[in-house]
């Protein structure tokens, strides 16, 4: 799972996962990075800093983890 991190229009630090399920607002970059690292199993390569304004949004639809097997058709 990957996390995006950046600053919102009010100057808060924002962290959100790529599925839109986990995230938060933070006062400092250090707090935001600590949260992201704790949530992703301490993998710095899974934290991406977003340039410009990055607003926290939990309105995104999560990506479905359930996939139909190849070649199967619905009955």
Residue 64: pLDDT band with limits 50, 70, 90:
very low
Q: What is the mean pLDDT of the chain?
A: 84
CA–chain centroid gap for 19, Å, is 6
53 with 7: CB under 8 angstroms?
yes
Q: How many residues belong to the chain?
A: 75
Task: Name the residue among 66, 63, 64, 32 with its Cα closest to residue 47.
Answer: 32
The whole-number average pLDDT for the span 29-37 is 96
As a whole number of angstroms, the distance between CA 75 and CA 22 comes to 35
Q: pLDDT (tens digit, 9 = 90+) per residue, 1-28?
A: 899 999 999 999 999 998 888 999 999 9
Beta strands, E only, 1-71: 3-7, 13-17, 23-26, 47-53
Higher pLDDT: 61 or 2? It is 2
């Amino acid at each position: 799972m990957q996390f995006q991190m950046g600053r919102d229009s009010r100057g808060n630090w924002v962290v959100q996962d790529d599925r839109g399920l986990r995230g938060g607002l933070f006062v400092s970059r250090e707090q935001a990075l600590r949260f992201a690292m704790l949530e992703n199993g301490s993998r710095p390569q899974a934290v991406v800093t977003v340039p410009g304004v990055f607003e926290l949004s939990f309105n995104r639809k999560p990506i479905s983890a359930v996939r139909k097997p190849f070649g199967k058709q619905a009955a």
